[in-house]
Amino acid sequence: MPAPEAPEAPAHDPLGRERAHLTASRAALRAMREDVEALDIRDVTANWVNAAVLESQINERIKALADLAHTPLFFGRLDYLQTTQEGQRFYIGRRHVHDGEGDPMVIDWRAPVSQPFYRASRKIPMDVRLRRRFGYTGGDLTAYEDEHLTDPTEADRTSRLLQAEIERPRVGPMRDIVATIQPEQDEIVRSGLSGTVCVQGGPGTGKTAVGLHRVAYLLYAHRERLARTGTLVIGPNRSFLHYIEQVLPALGELEVKQATVADLVAHVEVRGADEPAAALVKGDARMAEVLRRAVRSHVTMPTEPVMVVRGSRRWRIPAYELEEIVRELLDRDIRYGAARDALPQRIAHAVLVRMEQAGEAPDDRVQDSVARNAAVKAAVKAIWPPVDPAKLVLRLLSDPDFLAEHADGVLSADEQKAVFWTRPPRSVRSARWSAADAVLVDEANDLVERTPSLGHVVLDEAQDLSPMQYRAVGRRCTTGSATVLGDLAQGTTPWATADWSEALAHLGKPDAVVEELTAGFRVPREVIAYASRLLPHVSPGLTEVRSVRESPGSLEIRPSEGDGDVVAACLSALRHEGSIGLIAADDRAPALAAALTGAGVRFLAPGEETTPDARLTLVPASLAKGLEYDYVVLDDPAAVVAAEPDERTGLRRLYVALTRAVSGLTVLHSSPLPWQLG
């Protein structure tokens, strides 16, 4: 129900007035788009390259000005106590809209004047008299809700519109939360570009949502800088990236790249898998030192002088002087490839010094030509040969003496044995590289040639990265910053993060701030309480998620007689609206797929988009992380636990599976439930 109207609004039909503003804003947006469409760039530039760039910018702008039927143009209003520079009343929306005179009709949610919409409270009203939230049905403005922040007689109440948004049944890909970002989330979203933020938060606390909105915010606040340096969102797998890919475009940001860690390090084709013991060693940060030594071992101290013949004169640089040059380059610890590129010039410089001493006056061109001299080239090749990163890693993993030489004092004999290939491949192409090997190649690659850094990187589900993977991500934001999102209790890799400060050190951001989110927006109270029984066994000391959902949700736990019962549970879940996820241990998925097909029930795979007509997804437990479904049917928890190499990882996988549901969870167990759930 609308609250009493603001005094300056007409007493009659305040909703009609807001609708009129919506209609006018839509028209203004249309006019803005038409203005851009009508731009004739022929008069602006005759240069076709400039014209092409301009045209693509215009097309982007037209796309960004699209009026999306189901995303309301504004969702809030702020009436300030004092008149600010821009005015007194602001409608807050996803993008800026102005009228023909250039006066704002809708203000971007990221603008400084919008901030009180998210942060103002009765305690600190931030100069705001009225905060109004709008409710929409389809594209129609149908309700509003007011808070008079400076009125001492008005009582605090929870926003019904916010509750409705949180309780909304889910279907389709992830949506933005721009209308309902909470104060503690907003603090993270608006934290500065220069600092790295790490967010620890239990399931459904909005980490992914916050990370994506932070990117959108940073792009607004630092548009030019980030357009130059680039931004990247890193997620655990393709289906997850597919699930989140529409959030940023809905916020008007079309330029952000998305990748998995595997995409970043795709120097070799990954076709193999490691035993856990090998994976642990390969993911250990000590491997970086082994690789560093192995790369640098290619440098051979010169024993012969270099003799450069120019015309009738010969210039001789003795071995000891060459050695000095090489040592100096090694001490500077620049990239192997950069040092290799610098070496010919250093040798040429030594020749030039001799020429000058002999009374010649050589210039830069002479130095360049000496650097290209065959004798210098031959010396450089012998002293500082090129290193192929993949070949280097191949040799380390297949030549025990080479590995022992560089891992001496770094890896134990057993650790060396663990990573060693028992059947060494013949070539880089034929090797069955594992995901961890690809990261080693990436590290070696960076030792040879610096990896370009981006302006900002969001790393989601970070708890699953190995130290070597953190390093791989870290070198992609050495000159930028990062948002690191994760939950220690959901780590399911052999190297899962146990401690954020250690992880942040591997990332190269030891000074990052660690924030904690504890309010849960996804999982109903009863369900999160059930899942949290596992917390002391998987991550003692972590804070339990406090569900902010009002509806208690449904939780049903019952034995199952066979796959028929699972199919029946899915059919009954399908009677509710929203998406349904059937989560099962990976090795149970084929049997359940057959049972569903046999019963004529259509289902999707993770990554395929749920629609009102296809709402059931069969989710192997290993792909459930980060996803959510309105109703979840969880098949045999004990099998989910048993599928992992150790019990703690199994229980963590189960914790993930138990925390995907928005409205209800049905647990069907054909074997006894793990006692930790008891």
Ligand X SMILES: Nc1ncnc2c1ncn2[C@@H]1O[C@H](COP(=O)(O)OP(=O)(O)OP(=O)(O)O)[C@@H](O)[C@H]1O
> What residues numbered 461-490 form the site for ligand X, per CB under 6 A?
487
| 508 annotated binding-site participant | no
- List the beta strands (DSSP E) in 176-334: 197-201, 231-234, 257-259, 306-310, 313-317
Query: Cβ–Cβ contacts within 10 Å for residue 377, how many?
Result: 13
CB of 647 to ligand X, least distance (A): 21
Residues 101, 32 contacting (CB under 8 angstroms):
no
Q: Which of helix, strand or coil describes residue 101? A: coil
Check binding of 161 to ligand X (CB under 6 A).
no
Which tokens sit at 361? 């006056």
Q: Which of helix, strand or coil describes residue 518? A: coil
Rounded Cα distance between 272 and 433, Å, is 5
CB of 177 to ligand X, least distance (A): 4
The residue from 182, 466, 610, 617 that contacts ligand X (CB under 6 A) is: 182
| 204 annotated binding-site participant | yes
> In the complex with ligand X, which residue's Cβ is closer, 185 or 469?
185
Which range in 16-24, 199-207, 352-360, 431-439 contacts ligand X by CB under 6 A? 199-207
The residue whose two tokens read 């009225």 is 130
Q: Which of helix, strand or coil describes residue 638? A: helix
Residues 495, 525 contacting (CB under 8 angstroms):
no
Site string for ligand X, 510-549 (x = CB under 6 A): -----------xx---------------------------
> What residues numbered 642-661 form the site for ligand X, per CB under 6 A?
659
Residues 626, 580 contacting (CB under 8 angstroms):
no
CB of 550 to ligand X, least distance (A): 13
Task: For residue 130, list its beta bridge partners.
Answer: 79, 148
> In the complex with ligand X, which residue's Cβ is closer, 204 or 578?
204
The residue from 92, 141, 181, 379 that contacts ligand X (CB under 6 A) is: 181
CB of 519 to ligand X, least distance (A): 8
Query: Helices 435-448 and 276-283 sit at what angle, rounded to 10 degrees?
Result: 20
Q: Which of helix, strand or coil describes residue 485? A: strand
| 486 annotated binding-site participant | no
| 203 annotated binding-site participant | yes
What is the size of the binding site for ligand X (CB under 6 A)?
A: 21
> In the complex with ligand X, which residue's Cβ is closer, 65 or 241?
241
The residue from 93, 125, 204, 664 that contacts ligand X (CB under 6 A) is: 204
CA torsion 518-524-527-532 (nearest 10°) is 10
The residue from 274, 628, 636, 644 that contacts ligand X (CB under 6 A) is: 628
Q: For residue 408, give the amino acid letter.
A: D
Query: Helices 467-474 and 286-296 sit at what angle, rounded to 10 degrees?
Result: 60
> In the complex with ligand X, which residue's Cβ is closer, 171 or 568?
171
| 409 annotated binding-site participant | no
* Helix (H) / strand (E) containing 663: strand 661-669
Q: Kindly list the distances between the CA atom of residue 401 and the CA atoms of 289, 393, 396, 443, 641, in Å, as whole numbers in the listed order.
A: 17, 13, 9, 21, 40
Q: Which of helix, strand or coil describes residue 658? A: helix
Check binding of 166 to ligand X (CB under 6 A).
yes
| 135 annotated binding-site participant | no
Q: Which residues contact 436 (CB under 8 A, 6 or more apart)?
A: 274, 278, 279, 282, 283, 466, 468
> In the complex with ligand X, which residue's Cβ is closer, 202 or 283?
202
Check binding of 626 to ligand X (CB under 6 A).
yes
The residue from 72, 76, 206, 344 that contacts ligand X (CB under 6 A) is: 206
CB of 545 to ligand X, least distance (A): 9
CB of 617 to ligand X, least distance (A): 15
Check binding of 215 to ligand X (CB under 6 A).
no
Check binding of 344 to ligand X (CB under 6 A).
no
Task: Say how many residues make up the chain.
Answer: 678
Q: What is the DSSP string of 316-367?
A: EE-HHHHHHHHHHHHHHT--HHHHHHHHHHHHHHHHHHHHHHTT----HHHH
> In the complex with ligand X, which residue's Cβ is closer, 177 or 306?
177
Query: Cβ–Cβ contacts within 10 Å for residue 437, how many?
Result: 27
| 208 annotated binding-site participant | yes
Residue whose Cβ sits closest to ligand X: 206
The residue from 209, 343, 390, 431 that contacts ligand X (CB under 6 A) is: 209
Which range in 46-54, 83-91, 180-188, 225-233 contacts ligand X by CB under 6 A? 180-188
Which range in 176-184, 307-315, 576-584, 637-645 contacts ligand X by CB under 6 A? 176-184
DSSP count for the chain of H helices, then E strands: 28, 21
Site string for ligand X, 116-155 (x = CB under 6 A): ----------------------------------------
Which range in 126-134, 198-206, 320-328, 330-338 contacts ligand X by CB under 6 A? 198-206
Q: Which residues are annotated as a binding site for ATP?
A: 201-208
Residues engaged in binding ligand X (CB under 6 A)? 165-166, 177, 180-182, 185, 201, 203-209, 487, 521-522, 626, 628, 659
Q: Which residues are annotated as a binding site?
A: 201-208
